[in-house]
Amino acid sequence: MIKDSDMPHPVSANNPCPFLRALVSMGELSDKREPLAKVATVVAAMARTGDGQPVLPRGAIYAVEWTGNGLGPLSLFDTHWRGLRLNALRNGPLDKKGAGSRLLNTDGTINAKQVERPKSFAEEKLSDGGVTELGLGLSELRAYMDANFARAVGRRRLVDRALMLGEWPVLLKVMGKEGLGGRYLSLEEVIELFKGRCFPERMNKRMDKRIAKK
């Protein structure tokens, strides 16, 4: 019998970040408001479950989160003292508003047409374990990000290309696998992160062990 606690938690459509969406779905973060320190701690802990125990500095995570709900003095003050509203990130300073991958629709559902697009940038990768699969290394990700930025001409901001560096290269660092040609993102795992709001099983198992030790 499946317990309610084992079921995925609902995630607001106004949270467009795939990493945070997965953490909310897991129940590690609230879909509403969370203290900045807690968000930084949870994100950093999840990152450490990746292959090679990647480190995302909590201070850097904290600084990025602080601007998530707005750059105005009142917004920054509110976020600092009351926490980050994860269900109010859409249309905020970090939202690329269609200048990114467009894998998620504004209602939080997956965009089926855009799911096929990363495949044209992916290449066959051979993992250290001898598994062959479609993946995206750093060079493929750069080409993908450049193409996303190029197609958004007329509606993009200069900062949008820089914001992409805080998404795909970070996912590569956290979720990447070691292959014979270097670290790469499994295309299947990336799609599952967006579509299923979940991390690779190997990361979930390591997270469960960390929680069990507490």
pLDDT one-digit tens code per residue, 154-211: 889 989 999 999 999 999 999 999 999 899 999 999 999 999 999 999 999 998 876 6
With cut-offs at 50, 70 and 90, classify the pLDDT of residue 1.
very low
For every residue of the chain, DSSP letters joined together read ---GGGSPPP--TT---HHHHHHHHHTSS-SSEE-HHHHHHHHHHHHTTSTT-----HHHHHHHHHTTT-SSHHHHHHHHHH-EEGGG-TTSTT--TTSS---B-TTS-B-HHHHHGGGGT-EEEEBTTS-EEEEE-HHHHHHHHHHHHHHTTTT--HHHHHHHTTTHHHHHHHH-EEETTEEEEEHHHHHHHHHH----HHHHHHHHHHHHH-
Rounded Cα gap, residues 25 and 12, in angstroms:
10
What is the rounded average pLDDT of the residues 64-84? 96
Number of C-alpha atoms within 13 angstroms, CB side, residue 189?
A: 21
| Spacing of C-alpha 132 from chain mean position | 24
What is the rounded average pLDDT of the residues 43-63? 95
Total residues belonging to the chain: 214
